[in-house]
Amino acid sequence: MAGEIVPSASGISVLDLRAALEEIVGAEIVKQALASLPAVTRSEFVEITALSWVPLATITRVIDAVAATARKNPERLIDDAVRRAVERTFKTVWRVMLRFTTDAALIARTPVVYSLSRNIGRLTSRIVAPGKAEVTLNDWPGVSPRHVRTLGISIVTVVTLAGRKEVSVTSTPTADGAVYHLSWRV
C-alpha cells in the first residue's frame, strides 16, 4: 500500500547491532550469514549510514541467519546483541543524555530516544512511585513478541547505564503495543 510505514530501525542502531553481533559470534560468522541471504536483504543491512533506516524484517532475517550460522538460539542472540548495541550507542553517541540525570528526567527522555531509533510506534512514560515507572508503547498494532521483549531490554539497559541499580522490567502486550512496568532500587 502506498504510504504504509515499513517498521524500521535507525542506521546508528543497526550499525551498533552489527558491531555487537560481530563481537558475540565473530565478524567471519556474520559475514557468512550475510552471504547466505538474498542480495537485497544483505545490502539493506550492510550498505547503511548512521542516517539510514533499516526495515525490522531485514534485521530479523539477519539475526536468524547469524544465529543459524553460529548455531545459537536466535532469541538469546538478539537479547545479548541488543543489550550490547544499546550500551555501545549510549556510551558514544548519546552519552550526554545519561549524565547526572534525575529519575524523572531519565524516564521523560525515553520517548525521545525511542523516536530517534524507530519509525513506528510511540512511547509515553511516567514515574508512578519512587523507583517505579510505566512506559507505554502505542501505535504499533501487531508488534512481535521479539520486539516487545527487546524494547524492554533496551529500556533496562539505558536505565542501568544511567546509574540505577537492580533494574527490572515486565511487559504486557496490548492491542497496539505494550505496557512496561519498570523498577529499580532507590
Quote the number of domains for the chain.
Answer: 2
> Is residue 132 a part of any domain in this protein?
yes
pLDDT tens track for 62-120: 999 999 999 999 999 999 999 999 999 888 766 666 666 789 988 988 898 899 999 99
> Is residue 1 a part of any domain in this protein?
no
Grade residue 61 by pLDDT with cuts at 50, 70 and 90.
Answer: very high
Question: Are 160 and 103 in the same domain?
Answer: yes
Question: Are 87 and 103 in the same domain?
Answer: no
> Is residue 31 a part of any domain in this protein?
yes
Which domain covers residue 152, as residue numbers? Answer: 97-185
Last residue of a domain, one of 35, 58, 91: 91
pLDDT tens track for 137-161: 999 999 999 999 999 999 999 999 8
pLDDT, the chain, mean: 93
Q: What is the pTM of this model?
A: 0.92
Question: Are 84 and 101 in the same domain?
Answer: no
Amino acid identity, position 7: P
**How much is the pLDDT for 1?**
46
Nearest to 81 by CA among 95, 62, 100, 97: 62
**How much is the pLDDT for 58?**
97
| φ, ψ at 91 (rounded to 5°) | -90, -5
Is the distance from CB of 72 to CB of 29 less than 8 angstroms?
A: no
Nearest to 135 by CA among 67, 93, 181: 181
Lowest mean pLDDT among 34-43, 100-109, 159-168: 100-109
> Is residue 46 a part of any domain in this protein?
yes
> Is residue 61 a part of any domain in this protein?
yes
2 pLDDT higher than 60? no
Last residue of a domain, one of 72, 91, 110: 91
Last residue of a domain, one of 91, 121, 143: 91
Higher pLDDT, 108 or 170: 170
* CATH at 168: 3.30.1380.20
